Amino acid sequence: MNIVGIALHVCGLWILSSLDASGKLLVTAGVPVLMVSWFRYVGHVALMAIFVLPRRGRSLFRTQSLPRQLQRGMLMIATTLLFFHVLSLVPLAEGTAMNFMAPLLVMVLAPWLLGERPRWHRLAGVLLGFVGMLIVVRPGGQLSTEGAIWGAVTAATFALFQISTRRVAGDDPLTSNFYGGLLGAIVLTALLPFFWKTLDLSLWQWALLLSTGLTGFAGHWLQITAYSKTSATLLAPFNYLQIVSATTLGWLVFGQLPGATTAAGMALICLAGLAVVLIELWQQRRRSSGA
């Protein structure tokens, strides 16, 4: 087991959760979602241009399919905008939990969009995760109806983004990361005049806004490095630790903790996804051993 790769991956998840917490703080302070996203993408692509582009040169732009990279970039922008909007409506932990429906939705769509063979354990995982989602967004629960609806839309968009990421798997991960950041910076810069707002922020809020590019860059950088050292199947179960980081930050920063029933629904979503990952790992090892 590659402990270094796992540690890098988990650190990346914590940093990305801190980005989500920063976005929630800024949006609730009155900063438009589009402006938060603009700072996040411009900062991200600027840091890649400084630290990655000089070493990679033109090879950073080399892709097997530019249209697919552009499609992935647009879905990445949509996911960011939607998720920041969701976080303005619901607590951080619940918003993150709803987003974890995305990997399960990918399993539903994979046979049609990726040509993968349907598997019974994936279907069972999807159904179990859906039950968990219903518990989290139940009528009379902690979440607003609007937040629950936008959370479901975000999870579906994130699922399409993950599928589009698989379609550019032949490209260098840094290339995909750069194209996503670059397209986000270009599109949001074009839209910014329509949503521009003169900001009246404190010094720490400005620092937080400027940090979004750094945390986005650092989180994705650590994950790319982790995947370069460790197989994706080994890292997959650790993705669900982001629920822990989101819940912890939600408590420390916002004083929000899920109720017992909501926590049970979140746990069910995590268990559904984790069970599928572990079954896939077991099947892969069985095939490789010739059993």
The DSSP secondary structure of 221-262, one letter per residue, reads: HHHHHHHHHS-HHHHGGGGGHHHHHHHHHHHHHH-----HHH
**pLDDT at residue 237 greater than cutoff 80:** no
Amino acid 232: pLDDT: 67
Once rounded to an integer, what is the mean pLDDT over residues 56-82? Answer: 93
Q: Cα 142 to chain center, whole Å? A: 23
Quick one: pLDDT at residue 100?
A: 81
| Reported confidence tier of residue 39, pLDDT bands at 50, 70, 90 | very high
pLDDT interval class at 239 (50, 70, 90): confident
**Model pLDDT, residue 282:** 83
Please count the other Cβ atoms lying within 10 Å of the Cβ belonging to residue 102.
20
- Amino acid at residue number 174: L
CB 95 within 8 A of CB 151: yes
Residue 118 CB coordination number (10 Å): 11
Q: Alpha-carbon distance 226 to 182, whole Å?
A: 23
8 A C-beta contact, residue 177 and residue 224: yes
- Among 19-23, 118-122, 253-257, which is the least confidently predicted range? 118-122
Residue 265 pLDDT greater than 90, yes or no = no
Q: Is the predicted pLDDT of residue 116 greater than 80, yes or no?
A: no
Averaged pLDDT for residues 257-280: 84
Closest to 246 measured CA to CA, from 234, 236, 258: 258
Answer yes or no: are the C-beta atoms of 233 and 2 closer than 8 Å. Answer: no
Alpha carbon distance, N-terminus to C-terminus of the chain: 22
Average pLDDT, integer, range 267-274: 83
pLDDT above 90: residue 122: no
Please state the φ and ψ torsions of residue 235, each to the nearest 5 degrees.
-80, -25
Out of 14-18, 213-217, 227-231, 240-244, pick the least confident: 227-231
**Residue 206 has what pLDDT?**
95
Q: How do residues 198-236 score in pLDDT, each as one tens digit?
A: 888 899 999 999 999 999 999 888 888 887 777 766 677
Mean pLDDT of the chain: 87
CB-CB contact of 17 with 246 (8 Å): yes
Nearest to 71 by CA among 175, 183, 178: 183
**Rounded distance between C-alpha atoms, residue 26 and residue 250, angstroms:** 14
Residue 224 structure tokens:
């790319």
Predicted local distance difference test score (pLDDT) of residue 87: 93
